[in-house]
Each structure stands twice: as C-alpha cells, then as structure tokens.
Amino acid sequence: MTSIATEAPVDVNGVAVPNRPGGRVLAVLRDAGASVPTLCYDDRLEPQGTCRMCLVEVEMNGRTETVASCTAFSEPGMKVRTHTKEIVEYRKTLLELLLSEVRDPAKDSKRAALGDYEFQAAVREYGAEADAFRPLERRQKVDDPNPFIARDYDMCIACFRCTNICNDWEQASAITVAGRGQDSNIFTKFSNLLMESPCTFCGQCVNTCPTGALTNRKLANAITPVSMDWEGEVEEAESNTLPAPSGDAVQLGPETAVERTKTICPYCGVGCGINLITQDGELVGSEPDFSAPSQGSLCVKGQFGSWDFINSDERLTTPIIKNAQGEFEPASWDEALTLVTDKFKHYRDTNGPDSTVFWSSARTTSESNYLAQKFARVALETNNIDNCSRT
Amino acid sequence: MVGKGAMSNSIEEIAGADMILVIGSNTTEAHPVISLRMKKAVRNGAKLVVIDPRKIELTKWANRHVQLKIGTDIPVLNAMAHVIIKEGLYDAEYVENRTEGFEALRRHVEIYTPEFAEELSGVPAEDIAATAREYAAASPKASICYTLGITEHSCGTHNVQAVGNLALLCGNFGRENAGVNPLRGQNNVQGVSDMGALPTDLPGYQKIEKSEVREKFERAWGTPLPRRRGITKITALDQMVRGEVKAVYIMGENTVVSDPCSGHSRKALEAAEFVVVQDIFMNDTARLADVVLPAAAFAEVDGTFANSERRVQRVRKAVDPPGEARADWRILLDMFEYMGVPQDLESPSDVWDEVAALAPILSGISYDRLDKEGGIQWPCPTPDHPGTVFLHEDEMDSGMPGQFAPVDHIPPVEEPDDEYPLFLTTGRRRSTYHTGTQTGRAIGFDELVPHELAELNPLDADVLGIEDGEVVRVSSRRGSLDVHAKVTDRSPKGAIFMAFAHPDTAPTNILTNDAYDFITETPEFKACAVKVERLGAGDAAEAVAD
Ligand code: SF4
Ligand code: SF4
Ligand code: FES
C-alpha cells in the first residue's frame, strides 16, 4: 500500500492516476475515467486479449508500443494514450470486420428498447459502417426451444465470453467452442439443447454477451419494441414482432425505452443485486446489477424468475372477510382494519395480551418487520412476536 | 458461543479461503451464487471437503466427500476435535487468549475417537482424521459453511456448537477468509432477526428481559413494555390447540405448507378464534383466515433486506401494487392508527431512522449512505464507520471469550424401523423456492422440475422393484402421498430426498415429523422415517389422472 504513495503515477491521456501494482493497464485507464471497448473482456475472468479492441499506446522509458490494455500490466510512470488517430482508425476497421460477420444490429428494435449492447455502443461511437466489408456467411441460429435463453448466433462475434463465463465462473461446462475463426461455433455436447446439457440457466452467458447473440427470451417476449432515430426520440413500433430486415429499418438511438430500478433479488439469503426492468409502468423483466457485491452473478431464480409472480392475475387485490357462512367476501380497507383491530383489542382486553400472537416474515422488508414487532409490543402489549426464519 | 446468529465472515471471503468445509449445505442448489465463490477457491487451490449424507452436486468440486449417515454430524465433528487436540494441531495461543472451556472440551471429546465416530456415522476413521488435519493446517484461513442440514435436526443447536468448537480450536473466528458461516435460506431471514421480530429480542439483538434495554425502548416509544419474553411460533401453535392463544396475525408466510407436520399447523389455526393473514396470494394458510389483507410484493415497495453476510441493502419500488394491495409497512401503520396508537412515521426511510436510533449495530446506516455506497454490513455503529466485513476481530462479538461447548450425539427422534425402513430428508432445489408461491408462477420453471421427485438410491430401488420416473407412494406415520421416483446415487442407500415446492401435488410436509430442536425449536426437517411402495394398478391410474 505504501508503494502507491511513493511510486510515480500513471498518466492516462494527461490525467495522472496512481499505479496499480500488479494491475492491468485497463484498470488504471478506467480509474482515470477513460474508456475503451473491451469486447472479449469480463472483469470476473482472466483476460483473453483476443479481440484487440482495447489496444492503447503506452510510452515507457522512452519506448512507445501498442498493447492490449486488458492484458498488459501497468507500471509507474507509464504514459497511456487511448485514442490516438491510428488506434481509433484501427478500432473502426476491426468493428467493420466484425460487422461483416453479423446481422446489422441497427435493425433490431427490441434491442433498441433495452439500450445498446457493448458491441452496438462501440459501433456507434466509432462510426463503423455495416457495409464496409463484404458480408461473410453468418453463424447458425440454434433452434433451442428452452424457455429462457435465445441463441441467435448470427449476432455472434466469437469473443467467447459466454463459454469462458460458463466454464470458469459458473463452472457448469454447459457450452464449448468448436472450430476456429469464422468456422467456430458454440454448442452444447450431444443434442445442442441447453435443457439436455449441464446448463443451470444461471444466465451468466446472456449477461456477458456483448452483442445480443444470447438473449433473455422471457425479457425479449415481454418488451415492446421501439423504433428510435439518432436523436434518441422514442416512438412505439407498430407490432410486437421484430421488423423485417429491410434497408430502411429503424436505427438505434442512445436512449432506452425502459426504466431500470436497482433492487435485491427476492429469493434467497445471498441477496444478489438485480435491476427490475419496467416499460410503461409494467414490469417486464430483470437483469443483474453488476455494481452489487454479487458482481452480476445470479442463479436461475434471480435471473429468470424474479418478476412474473408479481404480474400474476392470482394476486390478492382487495381485503377479504369471511362471512358467517364461511365464504370470503371483498371488503373495504376501512372495514377490514376496523374488524381486525376491534378483534385484537377484544382479545387483548378480555383474555389478556398473551392470548394474541403476531408472526412476521422473512420475505418482507426489515422496516415492515420492525413495525410488526413494535405493533405486537406496543399495540398488542405482548412479546408474542416470532417469524419463520427457523424454517 | 461467540455472538449473534449470522455469518461471521463475508461471502467474497470464501473465495480466498485455503480450505472450505461445507456441512449440510447443498450450496449449488440452495445458494448457487455462494457456490461460485467456493468453486473459485477450489480453482485457486483451496481444499474443499463436503460433509453430507447425500452425494450433492458440490461433491464434484470436493477433494473429499465425507458421506455420513443422516443425523451423525456430532460424532464426526467431535472426532475431528479429538484428532486436532490429540495431535496438538490447535492454535494454543488463540485458545489461551480468546476462549474458555478448553479443558472440558478436551475431556469430553476424548472418547470420540475417529474409530468410534466411524461406528456411528459410517465414515472411515482415516477420512475423519485427514479432514481434521487439513482443517487445522489451513487455519486460520479455513472457512466452515453450513445451512439447514445442520440446524434442521432435533439436535440442531448442538450441531452448530460442535462446528463452533472446531473454529475456536483452530483460531478461525476473527480472521479473514475464515469463520463459521451459516448461509441463510430466505431473502430477509437476517433482517427479521435484526429487527427484533423475536420473542426474546428487541431490535439489534437487545434482550427484552434486561431492564436497562426495556427502559431505553420504553422511553423511545413512550409506553411501558411487556417484561416477559414471548412465545415462539411452535409454542403458540400448541397454545392455540389448547385455546390459550385466541388471535393470530400472520404476515406473509404460508405456515400450513411450510411447517413440518402441516396437519398440526392447520389444526391449530382452525382452533384459533381469529386469524388474519396478510400476503400477496391466497394460499392454504390464508384460506383458514377470517380476514385476508392484500400485501404488496418486493417490487412494489421501498425498504431494506439484510443478506446472509449481515449486509443491509436497499430494495426499491419499481411498480405500483395491484388493485387495493398495500405495502406491509403501510398496512401496519394503519393498524397502529386504528388501535389508537398512531405513529409519527410516513415512509420506510422514517422507519429506518427510528431503527438506527435504537439499535447500536445499525446506527451508522442511513438510506442516504445506502444510496451512495451500496449495501453496508453491520455492525456499523457510526455514520463514518465503513461496516464490518468479518466479526470478532479484536474480541468476540459477545464481549466474552469464545465458549467451547461439549456436546453429545443425539440420534434423530424418529429413526427407520421395520415398518418405515427409510429415512426421508428434505431440502431445496435450485429452480424452486420454498413453498413454490413465486417460482411456481414463473414462466418456464415448470420445465425445469415439472413435479416433485423422491430421489432414491439405485440399490433401494432395486430391492423395491421401482423404476426411474415411476409414481410411487411415500408414507410416514403422519401421512402419505404419491410422487415420481428419481433413481439416483445422489441419495445414499437407506434414505430418500424430497423438496417441498409442489404443495398441491406432493405436500412433503405432511410426511415430516413435528420434532423440534429443544433449544431453538427449529423443526427436524432433515430426518424422519418413511416407507416407499409401488402403486397398485388402480392407484397408478388414479395418480396419473391427478
Ligand atoms: S446459462 Fe449459465 S450454465 Fe447455462 S450456458 Fe449460460 S453460463 Fe452456462
Ligand atoms: S439470484 Fe439466486 S443466489 Fe442470488 S439472491 Fe436470488 S435466489 Fe439467491
Ligand atoms: S478486451 Fe482486450 S483484447 Fe479484447
């Protein structure tokens, strides 16, 4: 730690930041607020250094070289330039080459609703043209009818973040790469169906995919596509289906049509961070919150199951009171609150406070639990308050 | 023995441990994201030993699977302590400075030789000894993780103490990447206890029976408080049957399905004179109620949850509740008003401020800080305190030396016999959750586990003539149900496994026993005796028709 204070800082585009001993150039340039596209990189894994998008120019001891910032180590006194003319041109060309491998991402209105994937964002930032190179034959879509993950490999740029996260982070070994270069394909052993593979449906592959080749099928089915222009104005598209790929299709805009609310997964005690996604006031899905201590990890419940029960039409929507015949009848809040409190007052005052009990819940918020125990102690005058945490 | 019920260390620290001992936790299924930290540690060269009667998925990453007989954790843990003491592998300085009762423990575990433990548990003596040596060698960077497999036994408290003994011996409390880590089952189990929704504790684990504590709260709340501790849920159920408890308010838990021996819960609630249920769905418990109040779900409320590692995190409202449904906190504030004790609180953040003012372990946490910094781990006594990554650093959280607890083996209350020859042990599956009210409604999840499964060892299946996938009848002394058999060596010979997420078709908890841990009253979900039978032709047709 002391070395940080004494070491020479790193200069990133003229901004001085402390060196990170043993750290990568990428981390340091991010410290300085700079950003470069990192299409084959996932913070949680060892860097691969294959996409070359993160190249930067570094100057050290009078020598200048171009390095991949995700793999190169930072050193005190290093000068880093992230956007030299050559490098910017180089990135644009790389992106145009990648665009020749995939369907034009600008034509996908569902993606537009959710906002850019990393790849699309880079394409826009560098002004890469979709038709700069002759289109190559696309990778195959996979007809995999599982309910959670759509595998649309004609958007795949072969960055292998999905297979790496599956094998090295989730360690499920569900998907692997076969072949090389443009012939590489991602598949599961035997049937090539995720349901018949060791896949846990953790969704990590979907979350790390920078292009939308892998998508959350439930989310995609729930959102309404929008069309956007470069000015970022949002209009509702006519239908709920993807527009036919035609030359004049919608373009991506910098705004999204959905709102994200940072919250916590409602299932287990790990408490992974999630963003709930809403569109026009309706809950349409969720995604991991990468800024939470869970680092974007979720399990199948947090990833694919955290919201439909909210929208269920079996939800209770009004207080109900059992009548003399033992049937439930809807009631107003005032009727229900009056009946409940009259009854509890009655038992408290005639049978004694300990003839009443309150059980609160590990499912609801701490604030509600605080009020529950205070209610028992102050209003019911009993310590007969318990919860289901034993089960 | 050292402090409050919570993970001593943080989830992230597991990844940095040199050894992880996982006891009675089917982590990949019940806490998948924590299992990622374990898998990462193994990648980095850590040792992983899984102590579990079932060949759970995590054993794939383990150096050793200690496959003990159901309910024999204490002999194995005591024998580990025996080896560690006998071979002088414990941290003598730590034991001297930070613990109490070592001599008593030493004498107590004298008879628990690995050979004796082998007789009881079926685990080879050398495996027990090797695990003990590895644990001692990796200390103080050895982490123990456990869940319900340890606590859901009639001797659950003793199991936890036996685990604690090992950590105390080897100096693993108060050290990074170490500790004893109970992984909590539900999203806010930690928060519920933190808030004092307990018969014995006010918010922040302050004991109601201590007069200075009570006086503080009486001053703050402006009213006298009942002095005697309250009754637990289990006692309350009994008192309902006896007519002593008349009225019960149940906030969001499907008691009838989730409690063991659910027939008993039902009978108790039927005996109560007035039952209120506040929940998001109609369910078996709500059907017994006199009044059902529609609550808002997590996506519809503001507030906080506290996770397993004591981290208070913000929950935020994304959508409005349906119809007339209201947030639990709102309903409770209305209740106060109708009871004639209105509260001067308007929002969850007001409520939090009151909590922070009264519970010293939470005093430094505010919504403002949670918004800026993200989740904060208690204890966090002041606004400039960063929160506590691991407990017991300079002294035990209890303020006293760590107490060794000599504990003995207590077999499960109900063991297999001629009539009910198999153990039933229950647990969770990754894609289903608790009683299934949420995952049961999640689109696509029925394809993952379409129905309940009774997992059965191939040897037992052979003897019974049962084929994989066939519908079988499982019966205990308390009830009987039909369920699909899954023949798999995940289940040890002599035991079947079921979850309880399909209550409509396979209400597992009609089978389980109503035995409880005699200290915490945690139900013995992990062991009861059952028999498994093939269905006759008539039964089978009926079962298929269901
Ligand atoms: S969902 Fe998870 S387990 Fe399945 S393929 Fe993707 S990363 Fe692998
Ligand atoms: S995503 Fe999975 S592991 Fe994380 S809190 Fe939710 S249920 Fe638990
Ligand atoms: S991100 Fe560095 S090479 Fe791909």
In this predicted structure, what is the pLDDT of residue A242?
31
Quick one: B373 and B233 in the same domain?
Answer: yes
Judge if B67 and B155 occupy the same domain: yes
CA distance readout (Å), B63 to B20, B73, B134, B423: 10, 19, 11, 27
Q: Chain B: give the shortest CA distance to residue A316, in Å.
A: 5
Residue B361 lies in a domain: yes
Smallest Cβ–Cβ distance between A366 and the set B191, B253, B327 belongs to: B191
Place of tokens 């340890």: B150
Q: Is there a contact between B375 and A340 if contact means CB atoms under 8 Å apart?
A: no
CA-proximal residue: ligand 2, atom 4 (nearest): A272
Q: Are residues B242 and B160 in the same domain?
A: no
Q: If DSSP codes are grouped into helix, strand and coil, which group holds residue B285?
A: coil
Distance CA A271, CA B313 (A): 8
B294 with A317: Cβ contact below 8 A: yes
Q: Report, in angstroms and rounded to the nearest whole number, the Rg of chain A calculated over CA atoms.
A: 27
Separation of alpha carbons A186 and A169, rounded Å? 17
CB atoms within 10 A of CB A224: 17
Shortest CA gap B119–chain A (Å): 31
Residues B34, B110 share a domain? yes
Supply the pLDDT for residue A139.
77
Among protein residues, the one with the nearest Cα to ligand 3's atom 3 is: A49
Contacts of A191 (CB under 8 A, 6+ apart): A197
* B248–A357 C-beta distance less than 8 A: yes
Structural domains of chain A in order of their starting residue, each with its CATH number: 2-83 (3.10.20.740), 94-311 (3.30.70.20), 320-390 (no CATH)
Q: What pLDDT sits at residue B301?
A: 95
**pTM (two decimals):** 0.89
Give the ligand 1 atom nearest the CA of A162.
Answer: 7
Instruction: Please report whether residue B4 resides in a domain.
Output: no
| pLDDT digits 0-9 by tens, B500-533 | 777 777 788 888 776 655 555 556 666 788 999 9
Work out the minimum CA distance from B86 to partner chain A, whole angstroms.
36
- Pick from B182, B201, B232: which residue ends a domain? B182
From chain A, pick out residues whose CB is under 8 angstroms from the CB of B302.
365
Q: Given this model, what pLDDT does residue A231 score? A: 38
Note every long-range contact of A261-264, with CB atoms under 8 Å and residues 24 or more positions apart, other chains counting: A261/B299, A261/B316, A261/B317, A261/B318, A262/A289, A262/A291, A262/B314, A262/B316, A263/A289, A263/B298, A263/B299, A263/B314, A263/B315, A263/B316, A263/B318, A264/A292, A264/B187, A264/B298, A264/B305, A264/B307, A264/B313, A264/B314, A264/B315
CA A391 to ligand 2 center in whole angstroms: 18
Confidence of residue B320 (pLDDT cuts 50, 70, 90): very high
Helix/strand/coil (H/E/C) assignment for every residue in chain A = CHHHHHCCCEEECCEEECCCCCCEHHHHHHHCCCCCCCCCCCCCCCCCCCCCCCEEEEEECCEEEEEECCCCECCCCCEEECCCHHHHHHHHHHHHHHHCCCCCHHHCHHHHHHCCCHHHHHHHHHCCCCCCCCCCCCCCECCCCCCCEEEEHHHCCCCCHHHHHHHHHCCCCCEEEECCHHHCEEEECCCCCHHHCCCCCCCHHHHHCCCCCEEEHHHHHHCCCEEECCCCCEEECCCCCCCCCCCCCCECCCCCCCEEEEEECCCECCCCEEEEEEECCEEEEEEECCCCCCCCCCCHHHHHCCCHHHHCCCECCCCEEECCCCCEEECCHHHHHHHHHHHHHHHHHHCCHHHEEEEECCCCCHHHHHHHHHHHHHHCCCCCEEECCCC
Do B107 and B135 fall into the same domain? yes
Which residue's alpha carbon is at the smallest distance from atom 6 of ligand 1?
A205
Which residues from A are below 8 Å from B320, CB to CB? 281
CATH of the domain at B259: 3.40.50.740
Domain boundary among B322, B356, B377: B377
pLDDT given for residue B432 in this prediction? 62
- Whether the pLDDT of residue B239 is over 70: the answer is yes
Pocket test for ligand 3, best of A50, A94, A118 (most atoms within 8 A of CB): A50
In terms of domains, do B171 and B201 share one?
no
Q: Does a structural domain hold residue B417?
A: no
Kindly report, residue by residue over B325-384, the tens digit of the pLDDT: 999 999 999 999 999 999 999 999 999 999 999 999 999 999 999 999 999 999 999 999
The SS3 assignment for B201 reads: strand
Contact B25, B14 (CB under 8 A): no
Residue B394 resides in a domain? no
User: What pLDDT band is residue B431 in, cutting at 50, 70 and 90?
Assistant: low
DSSP string, B343-377: -S--SHHHHHHHHHHH-GGGTT--HHHHHHH--EE
Q: What one-character DSSP code corresponds to residue B297? A: P
Query: Are residues B422 and B454 in contact, defined by beta-carbon separation less than 8 angstroms?
Result: no
For residue A38, which ligand has an atom nearest its CA?
3
Range of the structural domain that residue B161 is part of: 11-182
Report the C-alpha dihedral over residues A7, A8, A9, A14, rounded to 10 degrees.
180
| Segment holding B212, helix H or strand E | helix B211-221
Q: Nearest ligand to the C-alpha of residue A42?
A: 3
Chain A, chain B: beta-carbon pairs less than 8 Å apart: 440
Which amino acids bring their CB within 6 angstroms of ligand 3?
A 38-41, 49-54, 68, 70
Q: What is the pLDDT of residue B265?
A: 82
**Least CA distance to B435: which residue of chain A?**
A391
Confidence of residue B415 (pLDDT cuts 50, 70, 90): confident
**Is B410 among the domain residues?**
no
Q: Residues with Cβ within 6 A of ligand 2?
A: A 265, 267-268, 270-272, 298-299, 301-302; B 31-33
Instruction: Evaluate whether residue B107 is within a structural domain.
Output: yes
| Inter-chain CB proximity B32 and A300 less than 8 Å | yes
DSSP state, B147?
A: -
Residues of A in contact with B32 (CB under 8 A): 200, 202, 270, 299-300
Q: Would you state the structure tokens that stand for residue A266, as one six-digit string?
A: 């409602």
Q: Cβ separation of B280 and A315 shorter than 8 Å?
A: yes
Please tell me the distance in Å from A287's CA to the nearest CA on chain B: 13
Is there a single domain that holds both residue B211 and residue B145?
A: no
Between residues B502 and B484, the one the model is more confident about:
B484
Q: Quick check: B291 and A344 in contact, CB under 8 A? A: no
Chain A hits for B338, Cβ within 8 Å: 337-338, 340-341
Closest residue of chain B to A360, computed from CA coordinates: B251
Stretch 133-172 of chain A: residues touching chain B, C-beta under 8 Å:
146-148, 168-171
pLDDT digits (tens, 9 = 90+) for B189-228: 899 999 999 999 999 999 999 999 999 999 999 999 999 9
Same domain? For B44 and B25 the reply is yes
One domain, residues B250 and B360? yes
Number of domains in chain B: 3
Least Cα distance to B302 among A273, A264, A370, A319 occurs for A264
- Give B265's contacts (C-beta < 8 A, 6+ positions apart): B237, B255, B256, B259, B285
- Domain of residue B502, CATH code: 2.40.40.20
Q: Which residues of A touch B257 (CB under 8 A)?
A: none
Walk along chain A (391 residues) and give the pLDDT tens digit of each residue: 444 456 899 999 999 999 999 999 999 999 999 999 999 999 999 999 999 999 999 999 889 999 999 999 999 999 999 999 999 999 999 999 999 988 877 776 666 677 788 998 899 899 999 888 888 877 777 788 899 999 888 888 989 999 999 999 999 989 988 877 767 788 887 778 898 889 999 999 999 999 988 989 998 888 887 654 433 333 333 333 333 233 333 333 334 578 899 999 988 889 999 999 998 888 999 999 999 999 999 999 899 887 888 888 999 999 999 999 999 999 999 999 999 999 999 999 999 999 999 999 888 999 999 999 999 999 999 999 998 654 3
On chain A, the residues whose CB falls within 8 A of the CB of B444 are: 146-148, 218, 304
The residue ranges of DSSP E strands in B142-237, in sequence order, are: 142-146, 180-182, 201-202, 206-207
Give the pLDDT confidence score for residue A229 in this predicted structure. 45
The number of the ligand nearest the C-alpha atom of A175 reads 1
Cβ-count burial of B248 within 10 angstroms (0-12 exposed, 13-18 middle, 19+ buried)? buried
Please check the confidence at residue B124 and state whether its pLDDT lies above 70.
yes
Point out the domain boundary residue: B319, B350, B377.
Answer: B377
Chain A residues in contact with B208 by the CB 8 A cut-off are 383
Nearest CA among B123, B109, B50 for reference residue B81: B109
Asked whether the beta carbons of residue A383 and residue B200 sit closer than 8 angstroms, the reply is yes
Say yes or no for a CB contact (<8 Å) between A333 and B307: no
Contact A391 B258 (CB under 8 A): yes
Taking the CB of residue B462, how many other CB atoms lie within 10 A of it? 11
Phi, psi of B486 (to 5 degrees): -120, 115
Q: Mutate which of B33, B208, B277 to disrupt the A interface (most A C-beta within 10 Å)?
A: B33
Residue among B33, B297, B313 minimizing CB distance to A299: B33
Q: What value does the mean pLDDT take over residues B131-137?
A: 96
Please tell me the distance in Å from B256's CA to the nearest CA on chain A: 12
Give exposure, A367-377, as e/b (b: 16+ Cβ within 10 Å).
bbbbbbbbbbb
Average confidence (pLDDT) over B473-490: 91
Is B290 close to A321, i.e. CB distance below 8 A? yes
Is B349 in the same domain as B205? yes
Is pLDDT above 90 for B20? yes
User: Average pLDDT, stretch B100-104?
Assistant: 93
Between the CA of residue B302 and those of A295, A364, A368, A375, B330, what are the distances in Å?
A: 22, 10, 10, 20, 11
Q: Domain of B91: which CATH number?
A: 3.40.228.10
Comparing B84-98, B261-275, B361-375, the range with the smallest average pLDDT is B261-275
pLDDT mean across residues, chain B: 88
Helices B348-358, A366-374: inter-axial angle, 10-degree rounding: 70
Would you say residue B296 lies in a domain? yes
Identify which of B14, B33, B431 to mutate to test ligand 2's pocket (most ligand atoms within 8 A of the CB): B33
**At B435, is the pLDDT very low, low, confident or very high (cuts 50, 70, 90)?**
low
Distance A28 CA to ligand 3 centre (A): 15
B304 pairs with which residues across the strands? B314
Q: B326 by DSSP, 3-state: which? A: strand
Of chain A residues 299-358, which have a CB less than 8 A from chain B? 299-302, 304-310, 312, 314-322, 328, 331, 333, 336-341, 343-345, 347, 351, 353-358
Q: Do B194 and B178 share a structural domain? A: no
The residue of chain B nearest to residue A258, with distances taken between CA atoms, is B318
B116, part of any domain:
yes
Contacts of B521 in chain A (CB under 8 A): 390
Nearest residue to A24 (alpha-carbon basis) of A54, A65, A62, A59: A54
Q: Whose CA is nearest to atom 1 of ligand 3?
A: A38
For A391, which of B208, B259, B281 is closest by C-beta distance?
B259
Query: Do B343 and B328 sit in the same domain of this protein?
Result: yes
